[in-house]
Structure 1
Amino acid sequence: MILTHIALLSSADNIKGRRSLFQVRSLRMGQCADLNGRQTMAYVEVVSTAVLLFDFCITFDSEVRWTWGRKWEIMRIAFVISRYLPIASVAMYRYYNVQSLQRGIPNPGMFIVVDGTMTTLGSAAADVLLVARTYAFCGGEKRILIAISSFGMATTAAMLTVIIIVVNQSGNPQCGAWEGQQSIIHGLHTIFQLVLMFLTLYKRFKFHRTENGQLVTAIYRDGVFYMLCITLFSMLDWLTMLVHPLSFVCGFYGPGPQTVMHSVLASHILFNLLAANESGDVIENLPVAPRMVFAQQIQTASCVDHLELWDNTDP
């Protein structure tokens, strides 16, 4: 009996020792995986920052040509926010990465609110340029402008509400608390982008099938390309969450590839529209934006609804 009892105790000790060893190994593996995930996200963020700065350099002359010296109205304000706010968000995110690896963020909840709000507003400003493109492609129909603007504002409000809820639910929010809410934010924004893309496709194939003008082609091509890129990066974000959930969630809706692509593509859409229109003829116009005029629908000889976007600053 004594020998049996001793054997049972020895077996129990061995089991506990194995469990402890397994837990230590699991902890080390988890730390290594988290470290690899952080390194991967750091590389991605560095590349995103480089792309943003490089695009800023190569398009600076276009910015000077098309936006400087104009009145501060809706379109110019949206352009400036979508172009420059991501730079500030990138700087804040770099600060977050450095501080989180050293001694931690003093007030992570406030940081989530500030950086999340900046990123959301930057994306919303880029969407304003996209809404203007869709409005022009739809022939300046006010009901369409009202509908997509209302939907966009509701989406932005929902995204900001999610950020506030996450902070209020926890006095010291951690990375894991943001995982589900981040998916909601990406989903809402992707839905808005898809709605605009399907509206563009519908108008293209229903009303502009025989229209091969440079402006219509630029509006259609840039819009669809923009939507596809944003959808692709949203899918990559979700896949990254599955592969490196902790490291990616810690990089909450920050200035990653999706935010950078928002800024870059929105700027190129505006520049391409104005450049394409520079070589076109100006038709009957209806002013709706600063120094820009969207044409009303007119009936051409080919019975095709035609629209133009005109920069009226030239004397």
Structure 2
Amino acid sequence: MPDSYGEMLELVKDIRLIRLSQLTATLVALYDHLITLDQEVDLIWSKRWSLSKVLFVVNRYLGGAVLLTEAVVFLKGDMSDNVSHNFFVFQGWASACVVWAMQVIMQLRVMAMYGHSKSLWIMLSSCFVAEVAAMGVILGMTYKVIIVAAEPLPGIAICTPIGIPDYFFAFWIPIVAFEFILFALVLYQGAWHAMESGNGWGPTSLMNILVRDSFMYFFLTLLTYVTNAIVWLTLSSTWLEVPEGFALAATCIMGSRLVLNMREAYYSPFVEEQDRLAEFRERESNMHFRATGGDEGPGSRVYLDEIELGETNWADDSGVMKPVAERNRESQLAPSSSSQSA
């Protein structure tokens, strides 16, 4: 409870900022959902159920549900201290699940880009488990000591965390660290693809779209994650909820668009790939037909989900990129071939 008039005035300003920030973040996420709803129906709901589809739903709809709940709670705010505490517990764990869902999607795609390398899978899995464990420990320790006031000022009802431990800002450190690892892997593969293709960045290439969207995703989400960590470390506990909604909204928006843009590119004709790889024109056309619901038998179908989840190989099925292992073999064979010819 504030001890002076000046502290009470600052708290009132913080409460207004919290409500405005949460409402803005929710409206931005809902607006993006509405303008991409037609893509979602065509590219998600009309396709078969798979792990990537489940992860998309968790990222988009669980994230949207948390944002709506936050907006209602912080605008209405008429609840007991115990209910307010339970809300913060739900908010923390649900938001973490949204982040984890998107990170699993990114891991699956990175694995497909690198030819399903077992050593890379072990490394990414270990880092992801360590991240989840670190976040879980920080959340668990924080929720044991956190105090939430449902009415921080007489007549002003809003869930306000007080008594936040000093280490709570560290919740964002494992997320930022793991995101940097994923981003570095995508960046390396994208740079190699750009040098290898030598034809610039075409708008319909699966690899180009993946790298482009990954840049946007990592830039926006990392920016919001780092901002949250700085705010939680340097400002008072009443500022805890000011940037949090934007981090969740960015994760939902960019995560959903990463999936939608990739699927839109896949289910559209591969114009540039067909022009550059004329000998594979008929094969790519047949693959596109099967992926969009042809009459081929189940055993011969190729789905985007299979490519995303490592059940097949992008290099073999679309000609878009080669796994790192294949490129390494080619580079090792190149010197011996040149020496024999000499």
Q: TM-score range by the shorter chain?
A: 0.7 to 0.9
**Number of the residue aligned with 1:168:** 144
Q: What is the letter of the counterpart of residue 103 of structure 2?
A: D
Q: Give distance in 2, aligned partners of 1:182 and 1:252.
A: 15
Unpaired runs of 5+ residues, structure 1, are 1-23, 308-315
Among residues 192, 198, 204, which one is paired with 2:178 in the alignment?
192
**Number of the residue aligned with 1:224:** 215
Is this contact kept in 2: 1:34–1:244, CA < 8 A?
no
Is this contact kept in 1: 2:142–2:168, CA < 8 A?
no
Q: How many residues align?
A: 279
Alignment of 1:249-260 (within 5 A): 249=240, 251=241, 256-260=245-249
Q: Give distance in 1, aligned partners of 2:163 and 2:303.
A: 46
Q: What is the letter of the counterpart of residue 226 of structure 1?
A: Y
**Superposed CA RMSD:** 3.5
Q: Give distance in 1, aligned partners of 2:11 and 2:123.
A: 44
1:275 aligns with 2:264: yes
**Number of the residue aligned with 1:112:** 88
Q: Give distance in 1, aligned partners of 2:57 and 2:17.
A: 30
Q: What is the letter of the counterpart of residue 273 of structure 1?
A: M
Q: Give distance in 2, aligned partners of 1:99 and 1:179.
A: 26
Task: Give the TM-score, by structure 2 length.
Answer: 0.70
Unpaired runs of 5+ residues, structure 2, are 150-159, 271-283, 289-299, 325-342
Q: Offset at 1:288? A: 9.1
**Distance 1:53-1:298 versus aligned 2 partners, 3 A rule:** closer
Alignment of 1:93-172 (within 5 A): 93-98=70-75, 100=77, 102=78, 104-169=80-145
Q: Give distance in 1, aligned partners of 2:148 and 2:209.
A: 47
1:108-136 per-residue CA deviation (whole Å, 9 max, x = no partner) reads 44333222111110111122222233223
Q: Give distance in 1, aligned partners of 2:304 and 2:130.
A: 22
**Distance 1:260-1:140 versus aligned 2 partners, 3 A rule:** same
1:204 aligns with 2:190: yes
Q: Please, which moves more after superposition, 261-270 or 137-146?
A: 137-146
Among residues 305, 313, 324, which one is paired with 1:296 in the alignment?
313
Task: Give the TM-score, by structure 1 length.
Answer: 0.75
Q: Please, which moves more after superposition, 162-171 or 55-64?
A: 162-171
Identity %: 18
